[in-house]
């Protein structure tokens, strides 16, 4: 059962009741919280007890890392609420098949599946206490008018959850929009509901933008929040132009609520609930892979968990004054870094997704949608959709030229490029503008 007092407490804490004057103070507070958390988890989780061996809590940064594969392999002994992987998969699977997400809990613990960009889906467990903490924190960081002002939230996802439904409080209305429903049905529901806050993947937000431009949707929300997919620079530009407002982002996954945008539109890591170590993969461009320790969650402990994401740290502090790390861009998955051959040496050159995105977008203002997929052979499959049909060949030539310039700057050879029709359908799978596929 949710507890309103707990929700309001976490709302107040996330809203600024807890303050640190300096970054050093914040880090000292985090360290104490992590050590206390580790001591508690060591007693409750047989997996971690064995995984950490003889290292004591103060040496937690030397603990071996885990990832999704390790977590799923040891799910039964890693979680502290006695739920088996088989039980969780059956329950979450039934909820998805029936599209009835009301009964997705065991012993008061909500069970859900991540949407999974790679087909490798993760399970998440959230207790009532953790759900209240999540609800209070999410409302504090995302709600435009505060907890006591009316708001109507439209939430577009592939799977609903008791977790998401828990944001319905008092004057807050919430409706779940199933991405697997027909688009015309979703748009009719939006016209009737007239939500003030839209929460959706960028691919769905683009469909809503098209409907707005065509006059099928007539109202503009107070706040637009992008979730579940990488917000590509092209999609951000189109959405902000159509709706005349900043598009906000949430960085959330199976492993926790990791970041959200401030009033300036800058993503900040939620360092009041998670500790994030930065494993730099390209220090010159400030790109890193996050290794997360969530010191607020005990039912499914996440400690030194290496994500498969590439984040770019902001070059300067945000004007909002937050001490929390500012992120310039969530770029995508490590697996979607492309590889080209070096021009002079026998080695592969890493080509980050952002490099490819910016090259394609720079090619032509007529490009409305694009995808670049590198196949196992190294060949690049490029698909673009443009606003003027007769300009397709010119746009393709310009894309080829920009990709060639990029390869030249990186001192590598542009692989064979093949243009194919743009066929992506929003809702069924996550949109990945740049993707590497080992066929």
3-state secondary structure at position 319:
coil
Residue of higher predicted confidence among 178 and 421 = 421
Quick one: pLDDT band at residue 202, thresholds 50, 70, 90? very high
pLDDT tier, 99 (very low <50, low <70, confident <90, very high otherwise): low
- pLDDT (mean) for 351-355: 91
Query: Are 310 and 429 within one domain?
Result: no
**Which of 302, 333, 364 represents a domain boundary (last residue)?**
333
CA distance 63 to 398: 49
**Do 289 and 349 fall into the same domain?**
no
Q: What is the CATH number of the domain that holds 370?
A: 3.30.70.2210
pLDDT over threshold 50, residue 118: no
Asked if 140 and 120 sit in the same domain, the reply is yes
Q: Is residue 133's pLDDT more than 90?
A: no
pLDDT exceeds 70 at position 438: yes
Domain end among 310, 333, 356: 333
pLDDT at position 266 is 93
Residue 247 clears pLDDT 80, i.e. is over it: yes
Q: What per-residue confidence (pLDDT) applies to 303?
A: 97
Residue 359 Ramachandran class (φ > 0 left, ψ -120 to 50 alpha, else beta): alpha
Same domain, 189 and 125: yes
Residue-averaged pLDDT of the chain: 87
Instruction: Among 333, 350, 379, give the residue marking a domain's end.
Output: 333
State whether 22 and 126 are in the same domain.
yes
Same domain, 67 and 111: yes
- Domains held by the chain: number: 2
Show the CA angle centred on residue 414, arms to residues 410 and 420, nearest 5°.
Answer: 135
Query: Tokens at residue 422, please?
Result: 């743009």
For the cut 90, the answer to whether the pLDDT of residue 377 exceeds it is no
Q: How is 85-99 classified by DSSP, letter by letter?
A: HHHHHHHHHHHHHHT
pLDDT at 428: 67
Give the residue with greater pLDDT, 70 vs 118: 70
pLDDT at 145 over 80: no
**Which whole number is the average pLDDT over 192-213?**
93
When pLDDT is averaged across residues 268-291 and rounded to a whole number, the result is 94
Residue range of the domain that includes 377: 337-436
Residues 158 and 286 in one domain: yes
Provide the CATH number for the domain around residue 17.
3.40.50.12780
Q: Tell me how crowded residue 407 is: count the other CB atoms within 10 A of its CB.
A: 20
In this structure, the answer to whether residues 324 and 358 fall within a common structural domain is no
Residues 269 and 391 placed together within one structural domain of the fold: no
Please check whether residues 288 and 316 belong to one and the same domain. yes
The alpha carbons of the chain give a radius of gyration, in whole angstroms, of: 22
**Which pLDDT score is estimated for 168?**
54
Q: What is the pLDDT of residues 215-242, one digit of tens each?
A: 999 989 999 999 888 899 999 999 999 9
pLDDT band at residue 395 using 50, 70 and 90 as cut-offs: very high
Q: What angle do CA 75, 78, 81 make, to 5 degrees?
A: 95
Q: Mark whether 170 and 319 lie in a shared domain.
A: yes
Report percent pLDDT > 90 for the chain: 57
183 shares a domain with 116: yes
């Amino acid at each position: 059962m949710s507890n309103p007092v707990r929700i309001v407490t976490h709302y107040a804490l996330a809203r600024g009741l807890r303050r640190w004057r300096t970054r050093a103070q914040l880090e000292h507070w985090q360290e104490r919280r992590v050590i206390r958390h580790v001591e508690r988890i060591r007693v409750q989780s047989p997996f971690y007890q064995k995984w950490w061996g003889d290292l004591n809590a103060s040496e937690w940064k030397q603990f071996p890392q885990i990832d999704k594969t390790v977590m799923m392999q040891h799910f039964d002994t890693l979680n502290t609420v006695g739920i088996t992987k088989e039980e969780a998969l059956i329950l979450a699977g039934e909820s998805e098949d029936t599209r009835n997400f009301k009964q997705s809990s065991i012993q008061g613990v909500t069970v859900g599946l991540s949407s999974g960009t790679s087909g490798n889906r993760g399970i998440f467990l959230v207790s009532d206490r953790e759900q209240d903490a999540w609800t209070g924190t999410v409302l504090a960081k995302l709600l435009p008018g505060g907890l006591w002002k009316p708001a109507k939230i439209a939430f577009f996802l592939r799977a609903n959850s008791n977790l998401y439904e828990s944001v319905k409080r008092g004057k807050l209305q919430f409706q779940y929009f199933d991405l697997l429903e027909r688009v015309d049905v979703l748009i009719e529901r939006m016209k009737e509901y007239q939500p003030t806050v839209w929460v959706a993947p960028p691919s769905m937000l683009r469909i809503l933008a098209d409907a707005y431009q065509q006059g099928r949707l007539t109202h503009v929300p107070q706040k637009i929040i992008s979730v579940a997919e990488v917000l590509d620079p092209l999609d951000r530009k189109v959405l902000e132009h159509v709706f005349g407002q900043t598009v906000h982002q949430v960085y959330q996954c199976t492993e926790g609520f990791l970041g959200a945008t401030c009033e300036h539109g800058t993503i900040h890591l939620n360092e009041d609930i998670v500790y994030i170590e930065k494993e730099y993969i390209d220090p010159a461009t400030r790109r890193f892979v996050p290794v997360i320790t969530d010191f607020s969650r005990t039912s499914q402990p996440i400690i030194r968990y290496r994500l498969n994401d590439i984040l770019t740290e902001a070059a300067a502090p945000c004007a909002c004054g937050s001490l929390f790390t500012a992120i310039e861009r969530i770029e995508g998955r490590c697996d979607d870094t492309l590889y080209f051959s070096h021009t002079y040496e026998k080695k592969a050159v890493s080509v980050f997704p952002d490099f490819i995105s910016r090259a394609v977008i720079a090619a032509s203002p007529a490009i409305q949608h694009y995808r670049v997929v590198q196949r196992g052979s190294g060949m690049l499959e490029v698909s673009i959709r443009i606003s003027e049909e007769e300009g397709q060949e010119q746009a393709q030539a310009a894309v080829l030229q920009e990709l060639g310039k990029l390869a030249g700057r990186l001192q590598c050879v542009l692989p064979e490029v093949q243009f194919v029709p743009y066929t992506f359908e929003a809702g069924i799978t996550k949109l990945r503008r740049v993707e590497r596929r080992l066929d």
